[in-house]
Structure 1
Amino acid sequence: MTRVLVVDDSAFMRHCISRALSAQPDLEVVGTATDGIEALELVRRLRPDVVTLDVEMPRLDGLRTLEILMRDMPLPVVMLSSLTEAGAPATIRALELGAVDFVTKPAPPAVGVRQVEPQLVAAVRAAAQARVPGRVPTLTPAGREQAGVRAGRAHARANQAVAIGCSTGGPRALLEVIPRLPPDLPATVLVVQHMPAGFTHSLAERLDHVSTLPVKEAQHGDLAIPGRVLLAPGGRHMELDPAGRVRLTDGPPVHGVRPSVDVLLSSLPPLFGERCVAVILTGMGCDGAAGAARVRAAGGWVLVEDPATATVYGMPRAVAERGLAHRQAPLPAIADAIQEALLHR
């Protein structure tokens, strides 16, 4: 039985969240809190397995509460976030601080709360099985001396590609990997992070702020050029067309997700062949395994995150258990492993 503490300043939301979780045979709501101060006291006293945490609360907000939890009493946290101009960056910050996942709050809550109940239940169950990631090491803005590099060194299509796929725990993983890639990386970098529409723009902005490589949310028609990172927009599949340009589509979800890692990876072998490196990081499920098989069959290189650092060792496991991974590496070593693989492509 997974014991859950529900934290939200809205009595209505506390009731709805508690009702949805308590209806599950494997979940038990052991307490509720109205703000961060009360939440910290209850975590110490009740020792829950998972906390659901609102971002906007009086006295002590969700982000500050999360910082204290990760420092003093680390445990899996699922954020409840609003899809607003301020809400999306706050959500990315929460994932950077160590939250396992987030669920978008419906607006207005009274109309849409039942629509998010399945996502909430799934997120809490996944969090209960997750390794508590902790916060990302302090990141500083990319040096402005790299401004010329960050503007893009080329307008010609890249002849090498790095494709990174991730899900639960992915934003934090990306914030460790992308800033470690050098400004003269000779390959285009394409990223699929399972995330709803509206949040990937903020994630791309944050990655761009702390990386020497320029990072942007991909747009239809973007050219895959060396030394630039393109992040698939939430809610849309991303692939490359025969000219090496981004094609965004609204096709059906694959493995229940859109964007899908498999969709991206499957489009790369005809363009890059053996000059492709597929990287599968933390996440639930098996998205990326079929695409990794295609990359490997074309002579490309496949790298997966080690279970010692993966928040959820689901997607990497699916690749490794099929015998598709050339190498398994812990998160701090992924960027170096990518560069080594490119040297041999």
Structure 2
Amino acid sequence: MIKLLIVDDSALMRRHLNGLFQAEGDFIIEQAHNGKEAVEANRNFQPDVVTLDINMPEMDGITALSLLMAERAVPVVMVSSLTEKGALATFEAMHLGAVDYVTKPGGTISLNINEIGVELVAKVRAAAKAKLKGNKVKGLAQRLREEREKPVQRAPSPRRAPVRDGIVLVGVSTGGPRTLEDILPHLPHDFPWPILVAQHMPPAFTRPFADRMNSMCNLTVVEAAQPMPVEPGHVYIGKGGADMVLGQRNGKLAVLAKPENKSYLWHPSVELLGRTALEQCDPSHIVAVMLTGMGHDGADAFAEIKKRGGRTIAEAESSAVVFGMPAELIKRGGAGVVLTSDRIASQLTSWAGC
């Protein structure tokens, strides 16, 4: 049995969520209607996993999360509104240690929670088994001040390195925002290869996520929402609600946002990104990195990249929040190197000759 704590200020939402998980038959459920009650229930009920709303009276979800992680760390799935403001709060939660998130399809009080029922149950089950990364809880004002004061060195704009020398593909899902913080900010400003990131994420979230990463990184991070030439020193985050592919524009390699290809289960699709990279690039110039996530998205394409002479990295089980996607790549014989997330940036830097 899985002990689940549902935290939401809406009695209606709590009732819907309770019914959803009761129907599964293997959840023991308690409820809290604000963050203060959640902290108390974490002590007394000691849940295996928590679903946590963000906007609540008396104590909001972000404050509650920081206390949960400091007192008794527990896997948390944030349940947030599908807005840009909700996205920013969700990324703050991921930074503080939340494992994953789901977005309410109908706003703060949703009568349509069953629309995301399958996703929510799957993410809660995965979170209950997830590894928690080291506690990063700090005072919010202190952490924001540190990020503002951190020197950010952008690659000089006149500099150009041939794209054919290398291109990095990154596939990631559950636990991805936090894991990418372990990698992208540690790449130097003169990193010579473009990086394309397919992170499973809804449409309203990818631009705020790209902006957040851009503020933390030496490289330029952008959301790939329109056709863009692929340039060194840039990180392209695939737009949510679309698929990111490689193609040609005016005779040059470009990153394109295409409508979701329904032949693939997850979006932005890692598999489709890998397949189009094989069509457009010499496989020996491709580096494919598979990070934490549920499922097998990208495993076949990345294994094919290795087979054709490309280099591949799978995140190690010891650091992966959810070992599904890296495990599938390893199972297919597609992992050239298996590394913990904190060693991936140095490996990429070494291969790029920085």
Give the alignment's TM-score, normalised by structure 1: 0.93
Is 2:87 aligned against 1:88?
A: yes
SS in 2 for 1:25: coil
Give the aligned partner of residue 97 of structure 1.
96
Residues 53-93 of structure 1: per-residue CA shift (max 9 Å, x gap):
00011111101111111122111101010122311100111
1:228-265 deviations in whole A, cap 9, x for unaligned?
Answer: 00000112111110431112211434552111111111
What are structure 2's unaligned runs of at least 5 residues? 138-142
Mapped to 2, the partners of 1:169 and 1:48 lie a distance apart of: 20
Partners of 2:156 and 2:49 lie apart in 1 by 40
Q: What CA distance in whole angstroms lies between the structure 1 residues aligned with 2:285 and 2:312? A: 11
The AA in structure 2 aligned to 1:116 is: I
Between the aligned partners of 2:133 and 2:324, the Cα distance in structure 1 is 15
Out of 263-272 and 4-13, give the one that drifted further: 263-272
Aligned to 2:10: 10
The C-alpha deviation readout for 1:121-177, integer Å capped at 9, x for no partner, is 111111112112244586724855624x27574497564101111010111000110
Q: Are residue 44 (structure 1) and residue 32 (structure 2) matched?
A: no
1:313 aligns with 2:319: no
Relative to structure 1, the CA distance from residue 173 to residue 41 in structure 2 (aligned partners, 3 Å threshold; closer, same or farther) is same
User: Is residue 264 of structure 1 aligned with residue 263 of structure 2?
Assistant: no
Q: Structure 1 residues 296 and 83 mapped into 2: Cα distance closer, same or farther (>3 Å)? A: same
Select 1:322's aligned residue among 328, 332, 336. Answer: 332
- 2:23 corresponds to 1:23: yes
Deviates more, 1:273-282 or 1:249-258: 249-258
SS at match of 1:92: helix
Q: Determine which of 163, 166, 169 is the counterpart of 1:160.
A: 166
In the TM superposition, structure 1's runs of 4+ consecutive aligned residues that sit over 3 Å from their partners are 108-111, 134-139, 141-145, 150-159
Return the TM-score normalized by structure 2.
0.91
Q: Distance in 2 between matches of 1:285 and 1:310?
A: 13
Given residue 200 of structure 2, which amino acid in structure 1 is its aligned partner? H
**1:285 corresponds to which letter in structure 2?**
G
Matched, 1:107 2:106: yes
Q: What is the match of residue 295 of structure 1?
A: 305
What secondary structure is seen at the aligned counterpart in 2 of 1:179?
helix
1:178 corresponds to which of 156, 168, 184: 184
Once superposed, what is the RMSD of the aligned Cα atoms?
Answer: 2.0
Match in the other structure for 1:34? 33
The residue identity in structure 2 corresponding to 1:12 is L
**C-alpha contact 1:49 1:128 (8 A) present in aligned 2:** yes
Answer with 319-328 or 305-314: which moved more.
Answer: 319-328
Cα deviation code 1:244-303 (max 9, x no counterpart): 111221143455211111111111233232111100010111112111122113311000
Residue number in structure 2 paired with 1:232: 238
Alignment partner, residue 140 of structure 2: none
1:54 counterpart = 2:53 = yes
Q: In structure 2, the residue corresponding to 1:122 is in which secondary structure?
A: helix
Local SS of the residue matching 1:268: helix
Letter in 2 for 1:247: L
Asked if residue 126 in structure 1 is aligned to residue 133 in structure 2, the reply is: no
SS at match of 1:277: strand
2:336 and 2:47 map into 1 onto residues whose CA distance is: 39
Distance in 1 separating the partners of 2:74 and 2:313: 28
Alignment match, 1:220: 226
Alpha carbons of structure 1 residues 145 and 303: separation in structure 2 relative to 1, 3 Å: closer
Counterpart Cα distance in 2 of 1:324 and 1:318: 9
Measure the CA separation in 2 of the matches of 1:211 and 1:178: 6
**Unpaired stretches in structure 1, ≥5 consecutive residues:** none
254-263 or 44-53, which moves further after superposition?
A: 254-263
**Tell me, what secondary structure is at the counterpart of 2:232?**
coil
Provide the aligned length of Structure 1 versus Structure 2: 342
2-structure distance, mates of 1:120, 1:131: 18
Q: Does the CA contact (< 8 Å) of 1:305 and 1:329 recur in 2?
A: yes
Using the TM superposition, give the Cα deviation of residue 52 of structure 1 relative to its aligned residue in structure 2, in angstroms: 0.5
2:67 counterpart residue number: 68
Q: CA deviation at 1:117?
A: 1.8
1:290, 1:152 → 2: CA distance?
37
